[in-house]
Amino acid sequence: MSHTMVIFGASGDLTSRKLIPALYRQFQRGRLPNPTRIVGSARSPFTSEQWRTQLAESTAKYVKGEFDNASWTAFSQNIFYQPLDIGSDEDFRKLGAFLTEVEQSQTTDRVYYLSTMPQLYAAAIAQLGKAGLNVDTDGNRRVVIEKPFGTDSATAKQLNESIHQSFREDQIYRIDHYLGKETVQNMLVLRFGNTIFEPIWNRNYIDHVQITVAEEVKVGRRGDYYDKAGILRDMFQNHILQLMMLTAMEAPVRFTGEMVRNEKVKVLQAVRPYKGSDFAEFGVRGQYTGYSDEQGIPDESQTETFAALKLYIDNWRWKGVPFYLRSGKAMSCRTTQIVIQFREPPHMLFGEHKSYRPEANRLVVQIQPAEGIQLDFQSKVPDSDMKMRLSNLDFRFDTSGKELPDAYQRLLLDVLNGDPGLFARSDEVEQAWRIIDPIMSAWKSPAAPTLFNYEPGMWGPEEGVEWMTAQGRSWFDVCPVI
Ligand code: BG6
């Protein structure tokens, strides 16, 4: 079977930085279906040859030491370019003819990758439908949609409806690159490939869960986009809720895309909805000092660059267990971690003083960087009376010393092979907005809780720490140690 990936928005940053390097790396490893043709489309009037030359340079830069001329020459033979304006029916007709020509009448699975500005997603899809490029009688037709998928519930629903006019749900792949990360998938193996964790993975043993995605970077050149999005849209509605779903879901009956997604959606359905007065109590919002001096940010911007939320999942497994979700730009270090904080022992026998409270068990799943797992537990201090100390067991996900494959490598291969398991379904995206929408509106309203400032390089605003302390808990503010 032959394959074609058509990339709309081909002259953009994502294409050169992520998509082409990922496809090239899979080609080098012999994993890309043979043949896989790549057809770039954008308004810039390149020839195929000019686009290949540009991509050779950018790919060499982004794959670093992995670039070699021989494999690039072989790979790039299947790279083509066809200029296209998304508003033009005629250009889509030409694209159709061009694809038929490069595919040489072979039965071909075709993937349309929308890497354009999000405002153009619906128009591009409608044009594909109008030109008949959505019909999969001679090979499958699939469409990949980058985030952000809508800007709230209503727009996500609208987008789903307009895509469904041209493509069936099983043809639609909504990408969330966090699901392509090795350690995110390992969360399922950790939970459902072992027997020791599952019996204690519930409200009887777990006090709370913390999911932190901290970034050291600031908004940089993405000010225009970021100031409209803010951290809730940029990180929570997608990546962080995905991490929460994998942490909280029930075991699927079988490991199929549909069954896994069914279980994930149930987690979102069980999230307790917030009401107006809840918002001050259930979240903290912050902005780093200097944010409004960045390019494209208005002086008076009230956009959050940090947020911490407390969500409850009202089901048998999790009732009463808070999930603390936190993310920020300009934080102390880059770290994504899921911390399972277990309860304290019910009755303390050891310790010098009766008031001594050792730290309870904790499982730290380090998603990135320094991918791995750490289990903290108490042990006896040798040659002491019955003094305890915190000890740990470490597991390093990859000991080869090489970098883990980029998330796009796995996801692009899955879409070429027609495996939707690591992509978001329409109901998943809509449910995620259902959770985020009311928080966004409350934080935009005149009664919004204070937007606290924090200095870059901190773990967010001081008030976020106090908020946690007031609940008798503390953040696991540790840069990756494994
Ligand atoms: C993107 C966000 O989706 O994810 C960015 O738009 C963020 O703001 C990025 O920096 C984080 O991805 P990763 O893979 O570096 O954790």
Residues of the chain with CATH 3.40.50.720: 2-146
State the closest ligand 1 atom to the C-alpha of 234, by its place in the atom list counted from 1: 6
Q: What is the DSSP letter of 378?
A: E
Nearest CA to ligand 1 atom 6: 234
From 411, 415, 410, 3, select the one nearest 170 (Cα to Cα): 415
Strands 335-342, 322-328: parallel, antiparallel or unpaired by DSSP?
unpaired
Lowest mean pLDDT among 116-120, 428-432, 478-482: 478-482
Nearest CA to ligand 1 atom 13: 178
CA distances, 213 to each of 25, 210, 281, 476 (Å): 27, 10, 21, 12
Strand partners, 172: 143
- With vertex at residue 408, the alpha carbon angle to CA 406 and CA 413, rounded to the nearest 5 degrees, is 120
Residues of the chain with CATH 3.30.360.10: 179-404+425-469
CB atoms within 10 A of CB 252: 18
What's the pLDDT score for residue 351?
Answer: 65
With 0-12 CB in 10 A as exposed, 13-18 as middle and 19+ as buried, what is 43? middle
Q: What is the topology classification, in CATH, of domain 179-404+425-469?
A: Dihydrodipicolinate Reductase; domain 2 (3.30.360)
Angstrom distance (rounded) from CA 372 to CA 479: 13
What's the pLDDT score for residue 356?
Answer: 60
Note if 3 is an active site residue.
no
State the closest ligand 1 atom to the C-alpha of 239, by its place in the atom list counted from 1: 3
Alpha helices in 270-308 (DSSP H): 279-282
What's the pLDDT score for residue 281?
Answer: 83
Which residues, 6 or more positions from 47, have their beta carbon under 8 angstroms from its beta carbon? 81
- 149 C-alpha vs ligand 1 centroid, how far in Å? 15
Q: What confidence tens digit (pLDDT) does each residue in 284-338 have?
A: 999 999 999 999 999 999 999 999 999 999 999 999 999 999 999 999 999 999 9
Domain at 2-146: CATH architecture? 3-Layer(aba) Sandwich (3.40)
State the closest ligand 1 atom to the C-alpha of 147, by its place in the atom list counted from 1: 3
Contact yes or no for 28/63 (Cβ under 8 A): no
Q: How many residues are listed for the chain in this entry?
A: 482
Nearest CA to ligand 1 atom 14: 178
CA distances, 141 to each of 32, 125, 280 (Å): 17, 12, 46
What is the residue-averaged pLDDT of the chain? 94
Angstrom distance (rounded) from CA 287 to CA 285: 7
Best probe residue, ligand 1, of 62, 146, 177, 304 (max atoms within 8 Å of C-beta):
177
pLDDT at 116 over 90: yes
Q: Single out the catalytic residue among 208, 239, 347, 353.
A: 239
Best probe residue, ligand 1, of 151, 174, 234, 409 (max atoms within 8 Å of C-beta):
234
Q: Which residues line ligand 1 (CB under 6 A)?
A: 177, 215, 234
State the closest ligand 1 atom to the C-alpha of 229, by its place in the atom list counted from 1: 6
- 404 C-alpha vs ligand 1 centroid, how far in Å? 16
Kindly report the backbone phi and psi dihedral angles of residue 82, in degrees, each rounded to the nearest multiple of 5, phi listed first.
Answer: -135, 115
pTM score of the predicted model? 0.95
